[in-house]
Amino acid sequence: MQIKDGTFMVTGGISLIGSHVTEQLLENGAKTVILFDNYSLGSTEMIEHILKEERVRLVRGDITRVGELYNALEGVDGIFAIAGFLTLPFSANPELGITVNALGHVNVLEAARYRGVSKVIFSSSVATYGDPEPGSIDETRPFRFNTMTPPGVLYGSTKIIGEQLGKLYSERYGVQSVSLRYATVYGERQHYRGVNALYIIDTYDKLMAGERPRIPGDGSEVHDYIHVADVARANLMAMESNVTAEAFNVATGTATNLNRLYEIIAEIVGTDLEPEYGDREGAVRVTTSSQLDFSIEKIGRMIGWTPQVSIEEGIARLIKWRQGQA
C-alpha cells in the first residue's frame, strides 16, 4: 500500500508516537490523516503545528467503543493502531488496561474488517519477551515472566494478545496486520508515562533544577533506546510493505546502560553534578538486566528498515525540544 494519496487513521494520534507517525505521513504525501484519540493521556497542545495542516482531521473517540471506530473509518486505507495503556498506568488500573489493550484492539480489527480497511500496523512492545535471558533476542524468543512484577507481566500479555489477534484477522478475514515490537521509545514530545524512557527526561529536569538525579541500582541496567523518528519510519515502511501476519523488533540493536545515559545527558547540559545511586521506593521496574541484544535482522531483511538516529543525537534532539518548552 502506498502512503502517497492514501487515507490513514492513527489511533492514539496525539501521543508521542502517533504525532510523529502523522508528521511522516504528511511528509510522504498522505491525502488525509485522521487522529483518533480520547485525550485521556494527552492533549493537543503539543501538536498544534500538525492540526494546522488541512489534511489532518481530529476525531475524539475511544477504541473501547467500537461504534466510534465504525463512524470514523469510512474511506480509510490503513490504520496505525498506536492507542494503548503503558506499564505505569497499567499498574494503577489493570482492569482498564486489559480492556484498552485487548478488547480495544479487537474493536480496531473488527471495525477495519467491517469498513474494508486493508491493513493495520499494531504498536506492540519488546515486553512480549518479558525479562529475557542473555543472548540475541529475535522474534522467536518466548515470553519469560517469572522474574517480573505483575504490571509488566500483564502489559506484556496484552501485547501478545494483540499480536495474535492481528494474525487471526489476517488469516481469517484478509485484514493485513503487522506487529512492531518497540524497544524503549524516546524523543521530542516525550511524555512522563514510559517506565524506562522516563529516566531521560526526569534526569534532565533534575539537573536543570540543580539536583542530583538518582540512578537505580549501580547504573549497570541496560535498555535499547530507539528514537521516535525511527519508530515512525518503521510504521510507514510496514504499511507500505507486502508483509502481513508478522512481528518485528524495532530497536537499535545496541544496549546503553544507565551510567552511560547519564553521561550523555550531563555532557549536553554541561554539568559536573554526580548522580546518586539506589532504587526509589515504590518505583515500577520492568527489567533490570545488564545485558540486552535485540536482533533487527528480520525487519531489515523483510521490510528494509534500519535505525538512523544514534542515542547521542536522539538525546540532544530531545533536550533541545525540552528547552524550547521552558
How many domains does the chain contain in total?
1
pLDDT in tens, 68-114: 999 999 999 999 999 998 877 788 899 999 999 999 999 999 999 99
Domain assignment present for 53 = yes
The set of catalytic residues is: 155
CA nearest neighbour of 8 among 88, 85, 93, 81: 81
Residue that the C-alpha cell 547519564 belongs to: 262
Give the strands of the sheet with 119-125, arranged side by side.
Answer: 56-60, 32-37, 7-11, 78-81, 119-125, 176-182, 246-250
For residues 161-184, average pLDDT: 98
Domain CATH code at residue 181: 3.40.50.720
Domain assignment present for 238 = yes
Contact 222, 289 (CB under 8 A): yes
Domain assignment present for 284 = no
Domain assignment present for 195 = no
Q: CA 249, 129, 264 angle in degrees (round to 5)?
A: 65
pLDDT in tens, 239-289: 999 999 999 999 999 999 999 999 999 999 999 999 999 876 555 455 556
Give me the percent of the chain exceeding a pLDDT of 70. 94
CA nearest neighbour of 109 among 182, 37, 173: 173
- Specify the pTM: 0.94
Domain assignment present for 275 = no
Domain assignment present for 206 = no
For residues 206-235, average pLDDT: 94
Over 90: is that where the pLDDT of 127 sits?
Answer: yes
Domain assignment present for 197 = no
CA nearest neighbour of 109 among 9, 204, 32: 9
* Maximum distance among all Cα pairs of the chain, rounded to whole angstroms: 59
Q: What's the rounded Cα separation, in Å, for the pair 24 and 178?
A: 18
Q: Which of 63-67, 71-75, 170-174, 284-288 has the lowest mean pLDDT?
A: 284-288
* SS3 letters across 261-313: HHHHHHHHHCCCCCCEECCCCCCCCCCCCCCCCECCHHHHHHCCCCCCCCHHH
How high is the pLDDT of residue 95? 95
Pairing of strands 184-186, 225-227: parallel
pLDDT in tens, 301-325: 999 999 999 999 999 999 999 888 8
Over 90: is that where the pLDDT of 25 sits?
Answer: yes
Q: What's the rounded Cα separation, in Å, for the pair 228 and 21?
A: 9
Residue-number span of the structural domain to which 18 is assigned: 7-186+227-251+293-308
Which SS3 state, helix, strand or coil, does residue 63 take?
Answer: coil
Domain assignment present for 99 = yes
Sorted by sequence, the CB contacts under 8 Å of residue 242 that are 6+ apart come out as none
